Amino acid sequence: MSKDLDIPFRGIVEQSLAGIYVIQDEVFVYVNATFSGMLGYTPEEMTGMHLRQAVVPELQDETIRNFHRRVSGEVPSIRYTTVGKHKLGFPVTLDVHGSNLQYRGQPAVVGVGVNISEQVLQQEELRISRERLRELAEYINTAREEQRTRIARELHDVVGGMLTSMKLDVQRIARKTENPQLKNIVADLLALAQESIDTVRSISEDLRPGVLDHLGLPAALRAALRQFSERTEIASELTVEDFDEVVSQPRETAVYRICQEALTNIAKHANATHVHVRLYTIDRQLKLEIKDNGRGISNSTPTGKSIGLLSMAERARELGGSLTVERGERGGACLQMSIPLEERHD
Ligand SMILES: Nc1ncnc2c1ncn2[C@@H]1O[C@H](COP(=O)(O)OP(=O)(O)O)[C@@H](O)[C@H]1O
Ligand SMILES: [Mg+2]
């Protein structure tokens, strides 16, 4: 039946990779094989079919309304996503673009349709896997923090305590002996015990900085930067301005950890000679900015590519904030973090 219709450019239309259709009086008067194929029909089966039959039930009324809006010329053309109904009953997501025109003296809608089910599915899968990745990063952050705190405490309290007892006992031996040979050994032992105590303290401090708990965030950052500069010979500068002292512990920990990871990245990747860390509060937001003068980073908001960047962004996100790492105006990398000072109670 459709073969008799005077479809312009028939060859092109019939071989088109896009679905093409003409609807008149709510009925398909022409479809090419691509369009009918998307819904599982032959062009012959679909020609003469009512428009309602081609879409899922919940979209039928809207589809008919859209058809009449175009036929009446109220809107000359509409592009939208709709869900067609396959011959076998399953939904097919279509991107359609229909315009009104006169066909054999009567108003009609001619349209182009593309099957985007695959894209929609892929987008959904992508969204789900991004979400999973975020959950994983959140879990890793929490687990790591708990583990670090626990190990730091055990190391400090238990191992540190044992070493201190050892040291005291060795001191007692030192006091009781006159034997010069034994005195030498005891002196060596004492030095070793003291070195062990210092090592345990510095490891547990690294794991869970006590200075963060005792002296607060600015002091902890200052200590971390001093250590960083000593180790890497990269000059560092800390600016703390308009800093609201009342920052909750999870926020302090997050900022500290973010700064630690950023400094590690600078040491590892940046080839920088200088780093500037700024900490301030503005409009009830806690801000951290870390700029280096190294080789820079391609503009990016942390995605699934890099676990370090993702984990930093996740720490900020968990507290209702955001974090980006971009190329600085004068080269280098620039990290910007912003976290609201108060919990949001939506
Ligand atoms: N300050 C920086 N300067 C230059 N490149 C950086 C900087 N920070 C991060 N990068 C780049 O971003 C990548 C991802 O960082 P990250 O997620 O921490 O992973 P990792 O440090 O394990 O490589 C790094 O491999 C590096 O190429
Ligand atoms: Mg890293």
Neighbours of 88 (CB within 10 A): 7
Q: 144 pLDDT exceeds 60?
A: yes
pTM to 2 decimal places: 0.64
CA-based R_g, the chain, Å: 34
CA-to-CA distance for 139 and 311, rounded, in angstroms?
10
Most informative mutation of 265, 292, 310, 327 for ligand 1 (most atoms within 8 A of CB):
265
CA-to-CA distance for 1 and 21, rounded, in angstroms?
14
Long-range contacts from 312-315, C-beta under 8 angstroms, 24+ separation: 312/257, 312/258, 312/261, 312/262, 312/337, 314/134, 314/137, 314/138, 314/141, 315/141, 315/254, 315/257, 315/258
Q: Are strands 235-241 and 91-103 parallel, antiparallel or unpaired?
A: unpaired
Burial class (CB in 10 A: 0-12, 13-18, 19+), 174: middle
Cα–ligand 2 centroid distance for 265 (angstroms) = 5
Higher pLDDT, 5 or 339: 339
CA-to-CA distance for 178 and 328, rounded, in angstroms?
66
- 308 CB less than 6 Å from ligand 1? yes
The DSSP output letter for 284 is T
- 303 CB less than 6 Å from ligand 1? no
Residue located nearest, by CA, to atom 20 of ligand 1: 308
- 252 CB less than 6 Å from ligand 1? no
CA-to-CA distance for 93 and 193, rounded, in angstroms?
72
The pLDDT confidence band at residue 302, using thresholds 50, 70 and 90, is: low
**Tens of pLDDT, residues 91-115:** 999 999 988 888 888 899 999 999 9
Please report the atom of ligand 1 found closest to the CA of residue 294: 3
